[in-house]
Amino acid sequence: MSITHITSLSQLDGVLSKSSGKLSVIDFHAEWCGPCHMIAPTFEALSKQYKNVNFLKCDVDAAKDVASRYRVTAMPTFVFLKGSTKVDQVRGANPGALQETLRRHASDSPSGAFSGKGQRLGDAPSPAPSTVEAQTDAPAIFNAFTQLDPKVKVLIYLAAGYLFFMYFS
């Protein structure tokens, strides 16, 4: 599906009113934003995989009223809507979080089939998700860190630097 570029609130309201029960994803970006340019190919690829989802792009400098409606303060920000109701948001250029949030809210999977492996009667049960996550702690921690507010990241860096210099002095 093609990506629609949103330039005004009236245009956005028109798009959303035509697809009241459909999932829409708005990519709030800016021309000067490096991470926005990095994740743009991922967003475009997802628009081709998920045919039953509206993919919209909004330049925050060109359509400040649209960005203001959704209180966008960081770029890129991806806002997920069902009809005109906001159901989720992803801040930052995190392809994994974008794909996971899209998969969770989309009514159809990219392949058109069931997601998951399934199980036959008599088979051993699959490991619990918490067990799988425990085996891959580092990526989960990294993903959690990348989703933190920039002010919290600065605080963590400062505390780590303070501890480093206290230890070596």
Instruction: Identify the CATH number of the domain in which residue 47 sits.
Output: 3.40.30.10
Q: How many domains does the chain have?
A: 1
> Which of helix, strand or coil describes residue 153?
helix
The answer to whether position 26 is within a domain reads yes
The answer to whether position 138 is within a domain reads no
- Res. 45: pLDDT tops 70: yes
Q: Which domain holds residue 73?
A: 4-106
58 given a catalytic annotation: no
- Res. 27: pLDDT tops 90: yes
The answer to whether position 118 is within a domain reads no
The answer to whether position 167 is within a domain reads no
| Annotated catalytic residue, options 33, 60, 67, 93 | 33
The answer to whether position 164 is within a domain reads no
pLDDT band at 119 (very low <50, low <70, confident <90, very high): low
Q: In what order do the strands lie in the sheet with 53-59?
A: 3-6, 53-59, 23-29, 77-82, 85-91
- Res. 53: pLDDT tops 80: yes
The answer to whether position 162 is within a domain reads no
33 given a catalytic annotation: yes
